[in-house]
Every structure is written in C-alpha cells, then in structure tokens.
Amino acid sequence: MAESARLLDLGRRDYRSTLTLQRALHHAVATGQAGQTWLVVEHPPAITLGRNANETNLLLSRDLLQSRGIDVVDVERGGDVTYHGPGQVVVYPILKLERFRAILPLVSALERAVIEAVAAFGIAAHGREEHRGVYVGNDAICAIGLAVKRMTSMHGLALNVSTALDYDRLITPCGTPEFGITSLEQQLGREVGFAQARDVLFERLASVFDLQFDRESITPDTPLEALEPAS
C-alpha cells in the first residue's frame, strides 16, 4: 500500500519566503515532528548559488541582477548556480532518509520520475552520472540539487516547462558551459500549461516513490507561517 505524503502546492511564491518555510519543515521532519512533506511552487525570477558555486558563473554582478528584479540567494544545496523563474515547476522533497547511502538513490529516483514525465509528452530524456539532472541530448531540461542535513533532504528539482530560455545570459547554468538548456515547450513546439506539467510530474513521482500525495492547494494570501508545524 502506498505511503501517504503531504504535498503543499504553493502556487507562485518568492524564493526567500519559500526557503524559510522549507527550512522550518526540514527541522520538523528531521526531529520527527512531521512526516515527509513535498512542496511544489513556481518562483518569480531568482538565482541560487549552491555551497560549491563558483561566483564567476554569475555573468552579471549581484547588484545588477538585483536591480533587474532578480533575487540572488546563497543556499545550502549541492551544485553550482541555478535559475528559477516563471514557467518552471519546482519541487522540494523534504524526506527523512534511513542511511547516508540513500542520497544517490534519491537523486536517481527524482531523475527517473522526470524522465518518465517528459516521456509522457513524447520527449526522450536521460540523466548524466557526471552532471546530475535530466537532459534532452546535450540540453538540460531539469536541474536537480539537494541538501541533506540530519539525514533529511531539502531543495530538489526544477523542470523547465515554458521558462524563458535566455537566462544563460545571466548565469552559466549549473556551471556547465558545455551543455545548453531547453524546455517542454521548446521541444514540442507548442504551449504546455504549468498545471498540466505539474500534474504529470507528480503522477510519476507518486509511482516512482510509491506514494499517495495528500495535496493542499495554498491560496496566495495564506501566510506561509500558517503551514509550519507547531513546535
């Protein structure tokens, strides 16, 4: 029987407030106050730098990016520089892992779910052992970057659906200039709705992780503090 998992659909939320919620939920899951919790969200433009990020992969200064309305945030996940923006399905799985060796299988399972999701749209994609994520040919369609602290995961994946693909003028995505970027819409040559892509992705995540998602759709006026478990 599939395990039940809480899924918070945050709609469109800014990166920093979502990160604050994610950290609060991570603490709750890590300390046994809450069961596994998944977040799905669409962010306004933001650039995040992982703990191994090379600052030279920001092609514009932080001040200039901020002046253009693009938030720049240093985070605890692995990996380098990543862009988030409208038209991108972002998923944060906050899961308690049984052992350290479960980290790589978790990344592989996320990749597999994305590969199956884009296959549902008729797109053949694959992973790369040397640069984790999901690719169509040499173009990244989904970035994956996790942090695991106290044996509990946070951060996650970003699937390009209808994302504007000129963000490589702002950063070197994931610090890998040898790879390009793509999206579902670019591959298909037609419009793809955010909700459609989100739902297909979560069908595949449910299958790969053997979960039954209990989804809560959060209205824009709901304060994120209300979603945090009581301490």
Output the pLDDT for position 99. Answer: 86
- With respect to residue 226, please indicate whether it lies within any of the assigned structural domains: no
Whether 135 is in a domain gets the answer yes
Is 221 domain-assigned? Answer: no
CATH number at residue 187: 3.30.930.10
User: 44-84: per-residue pLDDT in tens?
Assistant: 999 999 888 888 888 888 898 889 899 999 999 888 888 99
Q: Total domain count for the chain? A: 1
Catalytic residue among 19, 144, 147, 174: 174
pLDDT tens per residue across span 19-48: 999 999 999 999 999 999 999 999 999 999
The answer to the question of residue 223 being in a domain is no
What's the confidence (pLDDT) of residue 157?
A: 96
> Could you tell me how many residues make up the chain?
231
Q: Does some domain include residue 167?
A: yes
Specify whether 174 is catalytic.
Answer: yes
- Predicted TM-score of the model (pTM): 0.93
Which range of residues forms the domain containing residue 103? 3-215
Asked if residue 103 is part of any domain, the answer here is: yes
| Residue 35 domain flag | yes
Q: Is residue 111 part of a domain?
A: yes
